[in-house]
Amino acid sequence: AQSVAQPEDQVNVAEGNPLTVKCTYSVSGNPYLFWYVQYPNRGLQFLLKYITGDNLVKGSYGFEAEFNKSQTSFHLKKPSALVSDSALYFCAVTLVRSSGDKLTFGTGTRLAVRP
Amino acid sequence: EAQVTQNPRYLITVTGKKLTVTCSQNMNHEYMSWYRQDPGLGLRQIYYSMNVEVTDKGDVPEGYKVSRKEKRNFPLILESPSPNQTSLYFCASSSGTGLLEQYFGPGTRLTVT
């Protein structure tokens, strides 16, 4: 079985400060990892993904994520937070199977950036 | 404009009254999926479809049905809705396998009384 854990329900950060949103995963095999963002009253939007290769992945809106296989983590980071980054963030893992792919999401972390 | 559309966006219904939530994408995507979002539980996959006439259960399929007769459409059917199916539902699509990012619809908020 595959699973994703986002240990923080909410992360608070001041504008201009760096931010980290944590994610750990559990999967049998090579993980394919994603971050999505959900703004109020909207569907989810893709931010970035890790498939293979460089452990540091860069994505949309200045976000990046670091894949750490030994710690089974895929934390989302941004060097300087903006108030407009305030949203709900979801980490997800997928396992590619011959019977069909299955995407499992974490419970989400609400990011609040104060001016 | 490339998009995933869902209808209706909001629906209030009563227990046992069959309903269908439609989902359509205009990107010629092969993969489509339905999720429900509940507070504290994140998104959970209900059903997914790798292609036309190919569907499979996700994590929480009980009480739901789907069909994929055309590539662009993937309706979600609740034959006999119950209050525990009150939730926010999202349809998503992608151009291939789970390695690719998914495009999400705007969501359908369903209330079953």
Beta bridge partners of B105: none
Percent of chain A with pLDDT over 90: 74
* pLDDT tens digits, one per residue of A65-96: 999 999 999 999 999 999 999 999 999 998 76
**Beta carbons within 10 angstroms of residue B34's beta carbon:** 28
Return the DSSP state at B83: G
B residues 56..95 contacting A (CB < 8 A): 56, 58-59, 90, 92
**Chain B closest-CA separation from residue A113 CA (Å):** 21
Encoding tokens for residue A92? 């997800």
- Report d(CA B108, CA B113) in Å as an integer: 16
B33:A103 CB<8 A: yes
Mean pLDDT for B36-53 is: 91
Could you tell me the CA-to-CA distances from A108 to B12, B21, B50, B56 in Å, in that order? 26, 25, 26, 25
Mean pLDDT for B37-64 is: 92
A108 touches chain B (CB under 8 A): yes
pLDDT at residue A98, rounded to an integer = 56
Could you tell me the CA-to-CA distances from B20 to A71, A109, B41 in Å, in that order? 43, 31, 23
A51:B99 CB<8 A: yes
A39 touches chain B (CB under 8 A): no
The answer to whether residues A103 and A4 touch, using CB atoms and an 8 Å cutoff, is no
Encoding tokens for residue B79? 């034959």
The answer to whether residues B24 and B4 touch, using CB atoms and an 8 Å cutoff, is yes
